[in-house]
């Protein structure tokens, strides 16, 4: 829990970040949009991609674009689950990049937004219960279990899927209960058996895959996991073309509930250099695949709420807003994000709890020092709302928020605020 003492938190945003978002929020509000709303922009995504690409290029890799095959390249897949926003999918496709999906709905969304099957990577557990309905050639599919492999192998051969195996390394565990493994992938001995089975079946087996978790704290964690994957490949006498390391590069400008930065011990330069050295463990390697969602998209969005009521009790001010944790920002359970008044207030600050409108004490977006002069009608901006805010949005006695999108073409409304007819009309007579 946060301390009851007012304290300044250092989120480390570049000085141009706040004016950029305030300008866009003012523009959206000038068009009479109701709050709460999300506002997403492609520009921060492009900036994070450029930074990551530069680190990988400086380490000696080359970007894989289309079918061009440099000696060893890197390829980014958009993690659809992290930010399933239609204009982002379209913008990403226009960059010539592929998408990673983990469910039937995500695969349908990728197809609806124009992704060719060869530009779709299918991950996730238990997909043998929904993937067989899709007769799509040349998908990239990473198998997750023996049952999944047995069910999907005939289809994989028929449709010439580019197959992979997800390996659960010892570096992967439940972050909240580290003594337990996650439920994903093959254990190393199972992975050896699976790879041998794919080789015997003469399937198009090209990839080994692992995904550790979000916000991996150290480059060494990736290095150890890659070493374990290489051991599996040697035991199976398999030399992959693609090493899919999933996501996990830690997010910027966001703090833990204890006030620590997530990326304090993680550097992109050392990460890229580690990948270059680790690539030597795989003699036939052509590409490193990355599926970073949080690092790419966290800074690409904000949540805008309006203060509805103000209370003062037991030494704190309480702002009741039309959006908050329960509806719009479940990430605030684990993380602290910068939250700022849209209009600058110069009055003395005091400890303030920002609440949403739901009837739950749980609905606390932040507990931070804010100006005493904030009043009903003022707007607050919750930064770094680009990752997992839309997928974890709720309708707890309210509807979904409106969504704005910004890119090189300007700012536009891409989803209206949900009305009662949509909220209640889901029920059959």
Tell me how far apart the alpha carbons of residues 262 and 281 are, in angstroms, rounded to a whole number: 29
Distance CA 191, CA 146 (A): 9
Phi, psi at 25, each rounded to 5°:
-65, -45
pLDDT category at 70 given cuts 50, 70, 90 is low
- Give, for 423, the enclosing helix (H) or strand (E): helix 420-424
- The contacts of residue 410 (CB under 8 Å, 6+ apart) are none
Q: Which of 150, 251, 245 is nearest to 207 (CA)?
A: 245
Angle between helices 219-236 and 188-200 (to 10 degrees): 50
**Domain range list for the chain:** 17-41+299-424, 64-292
Residue with tokens 């050295």: 277
**Do residues 38 and 401 lie in contact, with contact meaning Cβ atoms separated by under 8 Å?**
yes
Mean pLDDT estimate for the chain: 95
- Tokens describing residue 420: 């009662």
Phi first, then psi: give them for residue 409, nearest 5 degrees: -90, -10
321-371 confidence digits (pLDDT tens)? 999 999 999 999 999 999 999 998 889 999 999 999 999 999 999 999 999
pLDDT at residue 190 is higher than 70: yes
**Is the predicted pLDDT of residue 150 greater than 90, yes or no?**
yes
When pLDDT is cut at 50, 70 and 90, the band that residue 2 belongs to is very low
Annotation: CATH topology of 17-41+299-424: Lyase, Ornithine Decarboxylase; Chain A, domain 1 (2.40.37)
Question: Closest by alpha carbon to 384, among 231, 193, 255, 197?
Answer: 255
Domain 64-292, architecture per CATH: Alpha-Beta Barrel (3.20)
Segment 233-268, tens digit of pLDDT: 999 999 999 999 999 999 999 999 999 999 999 999
Per-residue pLDDT of 15-37, as tens digits, reads 999 999 999 999 999 999 899 99
Distance CA 68, CA 251 (A): 30
Average pLDDT over residues 87-114: 98
Q: What is the 3-state secondary structure (H, E, C) of 145-198?
A: CHHHHHHHHHHHHHCCCEEEEEECCCCCCECCECCCCCCCCECHHHHHHHHHHH
Q: How many CB atoms lie within 10 A of CB 14?
A: 11
């Amino acid at each position: 829990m946060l301390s009851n003492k007012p304290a300044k938190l250092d989120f480390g945003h570049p000085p141009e970040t706040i004016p950029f978002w305030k300008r866009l929020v003012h523009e959206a509000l000038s068009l009479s949009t109701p709050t709460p709303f999300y506002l997403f922009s492609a520009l921060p995504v492009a900036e994070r991609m450029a930074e990551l690409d530069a680190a990988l290029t400086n380490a000696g890799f080359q970007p894989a674009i289309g079918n061009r095959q440099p000696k060893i390249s890197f390829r980014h897949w958009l993690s659809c689950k992290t930010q399933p926003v239609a204009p982002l999918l379209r913008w990403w496709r226009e960059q010539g990049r592929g998408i990673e999906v983990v469910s039937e709905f995500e695969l349908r969304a990728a197809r609806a937004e124009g992704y060719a099957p060869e530009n779709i990577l299918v991950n996730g557990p238990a997909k043998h219960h929904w993937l067989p309905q899709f007769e799509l050639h040349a998908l990239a599919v990473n198998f997750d279990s023996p049952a999944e492999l047995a069910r999907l192998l005939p289809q994989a051969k028929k449709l010439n899927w580019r197959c992979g195996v997800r390996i659960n390394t010892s570096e992967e565990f439940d972050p909240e209960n580290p003594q337990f493994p996650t439920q994903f992938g093959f254990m190393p001995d199972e992975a050896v058996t699976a790879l041998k089975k794919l080789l015997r079946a003469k399937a198009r087996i090209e990839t080994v895959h692992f995904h550790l978790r979000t916000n991996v704290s150290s480059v060494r964690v990736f290095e150890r996991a890659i070493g374990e994957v290489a051991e599996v490949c040697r035991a199976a006498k398999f030399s992959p073309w693609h090493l899919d390391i999933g996501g996990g590069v830690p997010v910027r400008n966001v703090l833990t509930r204890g006030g620590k930065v997530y990326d304090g011990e993680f550097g992109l330069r050392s990460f890229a250099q580690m990948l270059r050295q680790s690539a030597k463990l795989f003699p036939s390697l052509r590409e490193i695949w990355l599926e970073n969602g949080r690092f790419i998209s966290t800074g690409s969005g904000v949540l805008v709420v309006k203060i509805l009521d103000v209370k003062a009790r037991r030494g704190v001010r309480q702002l009741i807003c039309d959006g908050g944790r329960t509806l719009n920002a479940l990430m605030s359970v684990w993380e602290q994000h910068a939250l700022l008044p849209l209009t600058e207030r110069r009055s003395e600050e005091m400890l303030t709890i920002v609440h949403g409108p739901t009837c739950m004490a749980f609905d606390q977006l932040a507990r931070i020092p804010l100006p005493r002069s904030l009043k009903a009608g003022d707007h607050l901006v919750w930064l770094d709302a680009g990752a997992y805010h839309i997928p974890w949005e709720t309708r707890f006695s309210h509807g979904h928020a409106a969504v704005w999108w910004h890119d090189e073409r300007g700012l536009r409304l891409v989803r209206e605020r949900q009305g009662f007819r949509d909220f209640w009309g889901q029920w059959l007579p």
